[in-house]
Amino acid sequence: MIQCKKAQYTIFQSALYATTTTVIRTEDLVIVADPTWLPDEVEQIRQYVSFIRGDRPLYLCFTHSDWDHVLGFGAFPDAVTIASRKTAEHPDPEAVIEQIASFDEKYYLVRTYPLAYPRIDIAVERDGQRLTVGGTTLTFYLAPGHTADGLFTVVEPPGIWIAGDYLSDIEFPYIYDGSAAYEETMAKVPFILDGHNVTLTVPGHGAAAASKDEVLERRRKSLEYIRETREAVAVGREHETFAQLAEYRFPRGMKSFHEQNIRVFRRELGLDFTSAGE
């Protein structure tokens, strides 16, 4: 479905996990970020992009290499692709394809395009790196913490921040990479809001945020979740942290991710005796 639409952008939202796809059209180019998820949804996005594209170049941007965010790559074979250097040099791309294939086979899904791990044409290496096409500027920031290979992209005009799996209104932080990296990435948020005329911030899952105050509030909540969960794990009271899941819209679906975060905190705090000596 379409979450929101203006002259310069359309945010698609999958039926699954409220996963977003951002399509931005400027005078100079069309950008598609993370086209996903179900075959009909990817096809709808593909048709929409070919309808609005005209003779503009097409850029395909990946926020990170989680399989649900890269599975649409094969539907846009002529796009110029952008991702972080770490996404470009993923250590095990076959494993990502295996996750997509497993999902599709589990639900008997058939895609009309070939599955392949993204070939990345423009690999982003540092904060503030830019790509200018005519009057459109993309500014990139590295965003580790959820995964090590996360990437923020700010597109100006129209001032859209494609945030990947951060700053969600429906999810607490999912920490696969590390909580310190996650906090460092959150420390970039005010800097990005100050440095750009951001009019819309699009998380990988959930609703886009139209105001800076909303983005800062989501950041505050993310940092609070990390701090409180870490402190509870440190003193062996992690069982008490499950009560906070009730604040979220989908607590049953998110419980296993909270348990996963607790395992990460235990490891970071040196409390993970099960893996000692590995």
Name the site residues for Zn ion (rule: CB under 5 A): 165, 204
* Residue 142 bridge partners (DSSP): 151
Tell me how far, at minimum, the Cβ of 133 lies from Zn ion, in Å.
Answer: 27
Cβ neighbours, 10 Å, residue 38: 17
Residue 128, token pair as written in the block: 């503030």
3-state secondary structure of 274: helix
Tell me how far, at minimum, the Cβ of 275 lies from Zn ion, in Å.
Answer: 25
Whose Cβ is closer to Zn ion: residue 204's or residue 206's?
204
Residue 247 φ/ψ region, left for φ over 0, alpha for ψ in the -120 to 50 degree band, beta for the rest: alpha
HSE (side-chain half, CA atoms, 13 Å) at 159:
13
Tell me how far, at minimum, the Cβ of 176 lies from Zn ion, in Å.
Answer: 10
| ∠ Cα 72 255 207 (to 5°) | 50
Distance CA 71, CA 57 (A): 21
Whose Cβ is closer to Zn ion: residue 76's or residue 176's?
176
Alpha helices in the chain (DSSP H): 39-53, 67-70, 85-88, 93-106, 179-195, 212-234, 251-268
Closest CA relative to residue 78, chosen from 50, 100, 115:
50
Contact between residue 172 and residue 258 where contact means Cβ atoms under 8 Å apart: yes
Whose Cβ is closer to Zn ion: residue 25's or residue 150's?
150
Contact between residue 267 and residue 275 where contact means Cβ atoms under 8 Å apart: yes
Whose Cβ is closer to Zn ion: residue 171's or residue 238's?
171
Tell me how far, at minimum, the Cβ of 25 lies from Zn ion, in Å.
Answer: 24
Whose Cβ is closer to Zn ion: residue 173's or residue 204's?
204
Tell me how far, at minimum, the Cβ of 23 lies from Zn ion, in Å.
Answer: 18
Whose Cβ is closer to Zn ion: residue 156's or residue 165's?
165
Whose Cβ is closer to Zn ion: residue 191's or residue 250's?
250
Contact between residue 146 and residue 174 where contact means Cβ atoms under 8 Å apart: yes
Distance CA 122, CA 80 (A): 8
Tell me how far, at minimum, the Cβ of 185 lies from Zn ion, in Å.
Answer: 15
Tell me how far, at minimum, the Cβ of 64 lies from Zn ion, in Å.
Answer: 8
